[in-house]
Structure 1
């Protein structure tokens, strides 16, 4: 049985070196946790989460 968290997609924008915007990605909460745990400590790409209200404005 799926929980509500497994169905909600969270959007984030990837930034190279924390400055250069790349693309937006959407994952569930479990997928984001998995991505964060598998990231090396010397990150070249940073994530900036986008709020739902901000997403709707565009």
Structure 2
């Protein structure tokens, strides 16, 4: 039963990734890089911005 559920979970992840332009989930490092940049002096001119870090899924 566990093997069957694991197979369905993998199938669901693959199907969900098919909707993403990049075709995969983001890595923790990719999310962290965005947070680090937003907290840095490099982003000092950015105010009131919502940044979607979702491999292009939102604009669809």
Q: TM-score surpassing 0.5? A: no
TM-score (norm 2): 0.28
Structure with greater helix percent = 2
Structure with greater strand percent = 1
Larger Rg: 2
